[in-house]
């Protein structure tokens, strides 16, 4: 055999392969309503087949899927022959192809000015509805484009299908065929699937699949129970009345007869505007209440449409711009587990890299173990992966038909994959956690949180620096922040004496952060700024919180049982207590004067006191807070009712007045004795 004969044999083999594959997908899609391939996969195969057949017309046969769009109607529905075939549209996939399509129009009708109508391409099931003297007579699916299924009874159940044409400025034609798309809204689809799942029935893969499956029910009562809708986008033919002369006018006429036409059509005069409109729809795609998979562009004038005619079975005067695919088929190579800041074990699928809409995707989130079990995702599975907007890619469905038996089920690890500590999952909760607060995988994230705003708020302590300290082995838990070797840090590349000093000051200052911030900074699961404030207000010190029973924590108004359990568990963990002991040793303030409970039994309880002079171990406001916590009433003026005046250095007129009135005067040292060391701000106690 010559080399070209060999090539031809290969080509014939490939053609046969593609035809068999497409036929099988067609059968699953149209007959069974159970597709195993994505639209993108299907389109790509059909496109490749068309291209090969164009290069080798001698290999084209009548039974090729390119010559026979769709499939034979399902047994059980009568057949309806379309008086005018329901043809498919050619597709364009980018701006260059769109412009090439427009350039072809100019070549065929040189010097002609075209106007275009641009409409969204609804992702549903194409149907044709025939009205005789204004009354709905019969309706059919597109089928193979020439013969469809009689679904008249099913269409009658759809509320957006007019059973009688509305009175309009246009005379009612003797016969009118309206063409459109039966579809489901995204929200309705989700509700339907929820209902089916509750009833233990098979759920639909997407709204189009749901619309097709619901419309092609032999029992029309089932169809009637489904949230189907109809958008009409074209007049098939008109008899016994004058036909509009443009597509734009045809849409207006259909609307006037009471049809729901495709929303927001645009009448445009240049291909630049058409492309702009394609992008306009693409940007809105995710936010629309229904699914669209592209944009349909038609030459507006029916006369021009006639002149342009057809190439093979595709009209030259229309095309569909198809959005980049958001779903692709690929393989799950592995399933790995990442550990997050709060210790969540996050399962991730490692995929055979696949291009989805111009982005290479090699990972998909699996959310949690229930999700993996629900979708039955196994290592080695062939899956449909979806990417929409900036959302992390996810696995939509496993193609179980393609299993070989070598696939491995996945189980979440009982121990943390990073530190080996036991993992834990609360009943009723989806996530599994590593129980170790010092888990190295969590440490960097944990420190980022600890030094951040709303927590200890250490300015200049950026994420990069924190990671560097962890990598250098200088930090093993958050308490190590307060035991850093500042001389060593000053010698680190890119830091220097001045930065080290600034950083040290910021770290030292953070020791006096209010208790609520410290509680938030600890990174207790579920506990954010708000919950941390509730706990600080109620317990006033970390020791009180740490030693509280589950019931006591649960009694905090606004906290709830899940958060209470989380707080309780956190302090039961010895490693967490060890970190708190280290914080205490480092001089971090573990109690909050502003919110601490008031001592009603101590030596200062109920006494009226006055502060004067300069204190050396604490600020005036810290002393006031400590006195209030001890139950004293702090006043600014000395009177006969004043019990004690605490006089610091350089006390002036208030001390004199106290002497005049015979009020007891005590020193700062005596104040400290009365307050007791435990009640003092950490900074005062440390000095």
Min dist CB 436 to Zn ion, Å, is 5
DSSP element (H, E) containing 20: helix 3-26
Under a CB-based contact definition with an 8 Å cutoff, are residues 33 and 209 in contact? yes
- Angle at the Cα of 398 from the Cα atoms of 393 and 402, rounded to 5 degrees: 130
Residue with smaller CB distance to Zn ion, 86 or 441: 441
**Hey, what are 294's tokens?**
């592209």
Min dist CB 523 to Zn ion, Å, is 13
Among 439, 466, 610, 675, binds Zn ion (CB under 5 A): 439
Residue with smaller CB distance to Zn ion, 344 or 436: 436
* 437 near Zn ion, judged by CB under 5 A: no
Exposed, middle or buried by CB within 10 Å (0-12, 13-18, 19+), for 659?
Answer: exposed
Min dist CB 551 to Zn ion, Å, is 30
Measured in degrees and rounded to the nearest 5, phi and psi for residue 181 equal -130, 125
Catalytic residue among 121, 582, 628, 654: 121
* 434 near Zn ion, judged by CB under 5 A: yes
Tell me the three state secondary structure of residue 141: strand
Site string for Zn ion, 233-272 (x = CB under 5 A): ----------------------------------------
Q: Say how far apart CA 547 and CA 568 lie, in whole Å.
A: 9
Residue with smaller CB distance to Zn ion, 66 or 342: 342
Residue with smaller CB distance to Zn ion, 344 or 612: 344
Q: Return the residues of window 403-422 that contact Zn ion according to CB under 5 A.
A: 416, 418-419, 421
Closest to 229 measured CA to CA, from 217, 216, 213, 211: 211
Min dist CB 439 to Zn ion, Å, is 3
Q: Say how far apart CA 199 and CA 675 lie, in whole Å.
A: 67
Closest to 374 measured CA to CA, from 346, 396, 351: 396
Q: Return the residues of window 4-23 that contact Zn ion according to CB under 5 A.
A: none
The CB-side HSE value for 672 (13 A sphere, CA atoms) comes to: 16
* 340 near Zn ion, judged by CB under 5 A: no
DSSP 57-112: GGG--TTSGGGS-S-PPPTTS-EEE-SS-----EEE-SHHHHHHHHHHHHHHSTT-
Exposed, middle or buried by CB within 10 Å (0-12, 13-18, 19+), for 202?
Answer: exposed
* 342 near Zn ion, judged by CB under 5 A: no
Q: Say how far apart CA 416 and CA 344 lie, in whole Å.
A: 10
* 436 near Zn ion, judged by CB under 5 A: yes
Residue with smaller CB distance to Zn ion, 315 or 413: 413
Residue with smaller CB distance to Zn ion, 102 or 439: 439
Min dist CB 25 to Zn ion, Å, is 45
* 438 near Zn ion, judged by CB under 5 A: no
Number of other CB atoms surrounding residue 313 within 10 Å: 14
Min dist CB 446 to Zn ion, Å, is 11
Burial readout 421-444 (b: 16 or more C-beta within 10 A, e: otherwise): bebbeeeeeebbbbbbbbbebbbb
Residue with smaller CB distance to Zn ion, 436 or 589: 436
Residue with smaller CB distance to Zn ion, 358 or 574: 574
DSSP element (H, E) containing 21: helix 3-26
Specify the stretch interacting with Zn ion by CB under 5 A; choose among 273-281, 439-447, 494-502, 562-570.
439-447
Residue with smaller CB distance to Zn ion, 418 or 579: 418
Min dist CB 160 to Zn ion, Å, is 55
* 346 near Zn ion, judged by CB under 5 A: no
Residue with smaller CB distance to Zn ion, 251 or 416: 416
Under a CB-based contact definition with an 8 Å cutoff, are residues 581 and 503 in contact? no
Residue with smaller CB distance to Zn ion, 420 or 606: 420
Q: Say how far apart CA 510 and CA 452 lie, in whole Å.
A: 11
Q: Return the residues of window 48-87 that contact Zn ion according to CB under 5 A.
A: none
Min dist CB 414 to Zn ion, Å, is 12
Min dist CB 318 to Zn ion, Å, is 59
* 445 near Zn ion, judged by CB under 5 A: no
* Residue length of the chain: 687
Q: Say how far apart CA 141 and CA 148 lie, in whole Å.
A: 5
Min dist CB 346 to Zn ion, Å, is 12
**Rg of the chain taking only CA atoms, in angstroms:** 37
Tokens 């592995």 locate to: 334
Min dist CB 339 to Zn ion, Å, is 6
What's 319-360 look like in SS3? EEEECCCCEEEEEEEEEEEEECCCCEEEEEEEEEEEEECCEE
Q: How many residues bind Zn ion (CB under 5 A)?
A: 7
121 belongs to the catalytic site: yes
Specify the stretch interacting with Zn ion by CB under 5 A; choose among 286-294, 438-446, 466-474, 531-539.
438-446
Closest to 262 measured CA to CA, from 162, 164, 160, 163: 160
Closest to 372 measured CA to CA, from 415, 405, 339, 337: 337
* 503 near Zn ion, judged by CB under 5 A: no
Measured in degrees and rounded to the nearest 5, phi and psi for residue 382 equal -90, 130
Interacting residues of 245 by C-beta distance below 8 A, sequence separation 6+: 301, 302, 303
Tell me the three state secondary structure of residue 389: coil
* 591 near Zn ion, judged by CB under 5 A: no
Q: What residues are paired with 181 via a beta bridge?
A: 126, 231
Q: Which residues are catalytic?
A: 121
> Which residue ranges make up the site for Zn ion (CB under 5 A)?
416, 418-419, 421, 434, 436, 439
């Amino acid at each position: 055999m010559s080399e070209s004969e060999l090539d031809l044999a290969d080509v014939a083999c490939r053609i046969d392969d593609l035809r068999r594959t497409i036929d099988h997908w067609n059968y699953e899609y149209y007959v069974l309503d159970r597709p195993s391939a994505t639209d993108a996969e299907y389109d790509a195969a059909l496109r490749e087949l068309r291209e090969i057949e164009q290069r080798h017309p001698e290999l084209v046969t009548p039974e090729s899927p390119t010559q026979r769009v769709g499939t034979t109607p399902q047994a059980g529905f009568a057949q309806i022959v379309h008086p005018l075939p329901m043809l498919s549209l050619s597709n364009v996939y980018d701006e260059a192809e769109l412009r090439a399509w427009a350039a072809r129009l100019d070549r065929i009708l040189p010097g002609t000015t075209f106007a275009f109508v641009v409409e969204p391409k609804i992702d549903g099931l194409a149907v044709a509805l025939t009205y005789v003297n204004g009354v709905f007579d019969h309706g059919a699916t597109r089928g193979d484009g020439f013969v469809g299924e009689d679904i008249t009874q099913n269409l009658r159940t759809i509320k957006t299908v007019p059973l009688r044409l509305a009175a309009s400025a246009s005379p009612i034609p003797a016969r009118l065929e309206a063409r459109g798309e039966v579809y489901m809204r995204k929200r309705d689809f989700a509700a339907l699937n929820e209902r089916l799942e509750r009833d233990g029935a098979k759920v639909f893969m997407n709204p189009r699949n749901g619309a097709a499956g619901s419309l092609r029910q032999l029992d029309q009562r089932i169809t009637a129970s489904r949230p189907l809708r109809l958008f009409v986008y074209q007049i098939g033919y008109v008899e016994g009345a004058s036909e509009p002369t443009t597509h734009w006018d045809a849409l207006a006429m259909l609307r006037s007869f009471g049809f729901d036409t495709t929303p927001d059509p645009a009448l445009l005069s240049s291909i630049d505007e058409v492309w702009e409109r394609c992008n306009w729809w693409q940007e809105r795609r995710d936010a629309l209440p229904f699914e669209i998979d592209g944009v349909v562009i038609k030459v507006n004038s029916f006369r021009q449409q006639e002149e342009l005619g057809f190439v093979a079975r595709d009209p030259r005067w229309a095309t569909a711009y198809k959005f980049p695919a958001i779903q692709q088929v690929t393989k799950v190579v592995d399933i790995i587990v990442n550990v997050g800041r709060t210790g969540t074990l996050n399962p991730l699928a490692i995929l055979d890299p696949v291009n989805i809409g111009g982005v290479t995707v090699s990972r998909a989130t699996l959310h949690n173990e229930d999700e993996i079990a629900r979708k039955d995702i196994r290592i080695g599975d062939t899956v449909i992966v979806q990417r929409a907007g900036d959302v992390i890619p996810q696995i939509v469905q496993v193609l179980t038909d393609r299993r070989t038996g070598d696939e491995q089920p996945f189980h979440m690890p009982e121990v943390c994959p990073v530190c080996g500590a036991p993992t834990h999952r609360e009943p009723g909760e989806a996530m599994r956690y590593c129980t170790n607060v010092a888990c190295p995988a969590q440490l960097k994230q944990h420190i980022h949180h600890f030094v951040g705003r709303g927590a200890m708020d250490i300015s200049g302590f950026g994420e990069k620096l924190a990671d560097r300290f962890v990598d250098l082995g200088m930090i093993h838990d958050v308490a190590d922040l307060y035991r850093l070797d500042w001389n060593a840090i000053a010698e680190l590349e890119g830091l220097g004496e001045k930065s080290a000093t600034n950083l040290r000051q910021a770290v030292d200052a953070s020791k006096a952060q209010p208790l609520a911030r410290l509680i938030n900074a600890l990174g207790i699961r579920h506990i954010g700024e708000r919950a941390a404030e509730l706990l600080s207000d109620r317990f006033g010190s970390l020791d009180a919180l740490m030693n509280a029973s589950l019931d006591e924590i649960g009694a905090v108004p606004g906290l709830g049982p899940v958060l209470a359990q989380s707080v309780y568990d956190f302090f039961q963990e010895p490693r967490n207590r060890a970190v708190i002991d280290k914080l205490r040793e480092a001089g971090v303030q573990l109690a909050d004067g502003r919110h601490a409970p008031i001592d009603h039994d101590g030596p200062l309880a109920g006494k009226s006191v006055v502060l004067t002079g300069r204190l050396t171990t604490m600020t005036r406001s810290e002393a006031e807070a400590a006195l209030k916590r001890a139950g004293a009433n702090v006043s600014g003026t000395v009177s006969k009712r004043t019990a004690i005046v605490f006089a610091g250095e350089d006390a002036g007129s208030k001390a004199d007045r106290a002497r005049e009135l015979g009020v007891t005067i005590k020193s700062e040292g005596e104040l400290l004795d009365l307050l007791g060391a435990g009640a003092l701000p950490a900074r005062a106690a440390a000095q």
